[in-house]
Amino acid sequence: SVAPTPTASFSPGETCCAPTPAACFPAHVKVILQDGLEKTVSELKVGDRVLTASGTFSEVYFFGHRVAHGMFPFLRLITSLSHLDVSDSHLLVVNDGALVPAKQIVVGDQLHLADETKVTVTSIVKIQARGLFNPHTVTGSIVVNGVKASCFTSTVNPVIAEALLVPIRMLYYAGIRTPNFLNEDSPKIFTSLIPSHHRPIYV
């Protein structure tokens, strides 16, 4: 059965924020670590090794967004097995293996699962959920709630986004931590490349 939409309560002073920045998950979705344990994306840390779309494990080297507070709009893609909550421009592996933004997925499309099976989308609803998290792995993909996803968005071409992140990945390999891409301390050169209607609103 599908869990209730996580919209019931707001912390004092917390407001609903829109639009959702392009490629994010809410705080409660889960990933699988190399040791077989699960973590929510809000619990993930840089250096954690998580399951990716290729079936291998890859290090999280960077967070495009890491905003724990605030309620944001997401799409809930419901299947016969479970559901995935995701921002509308996040790229997912769909049907024949193409990367498709969540907002273009329709009932009847098939999502690719970590066990190499597919599951059909039976319903799509708009929800509000807490937090914005966009972990980036070295391989550029991630499995979330059992579903294969890219770490990228349709707003910026993944090839361009990957090229922009090369310096950050090199700094990570050198042991140097970098600021979150689209957080309050973001490098202005990066945020200026994102259309204004997709930039985050912080609370």
pLDDT above 90: percentage of residues in the chain = 55
The answer to whether residue 44 sits within a structural domain is yes
Kindly report the number of other CB atoms within 10 A of residue 3's CB atom: 10
Kindly report the number of other CB atoms within 10 A of residue 38's CB atom: 12
Question: What's the rounded Cα separation, in Å, for the pair 177 and 140?
Answer: 18
The answer to whether residue 16 sits within a structural domain is no
The answer to whether residue 25 sits within a structural domain is no
Q: Which residue has the tokens 């391989």?
A: 139
The answer to whether residue 23 sits within a structural domain is no
Residue 3 has pLDDT above 70, yes or no: no
Convert the pLDDT of each residue in 116-169 to its tens digit.
Answer: 999 999 999 999 999 999 999 999 899 999 999 998 775 555 565 565 666 666
Task: Quote the mean pLDDT of the chain.
Answer: 78
The answer to whether residue 166 sits within a structural domain is yes
Residue 190 is part of a domain; what is its CATH number?
Answer: 2.170.16.10
According to DSSP, the residues that pair with 31 across neighbouring strands are: 39
Question: What is the rounded (10 degree) CA torsion for 109, 49, 130, 81?
Answer: 30
The answer to whether residue 72 sits within a structural domain is yes
Q: Which domain holds residue 74?
A: 30-194
Residue 18 has pLDDT above 50, yes or no: no
**Total domains present in the chain:** 1
Question: What's the rounded Cα separation, in Å, for the pair 2 and 26?
Answer: 16
pTM of structure = 0.72
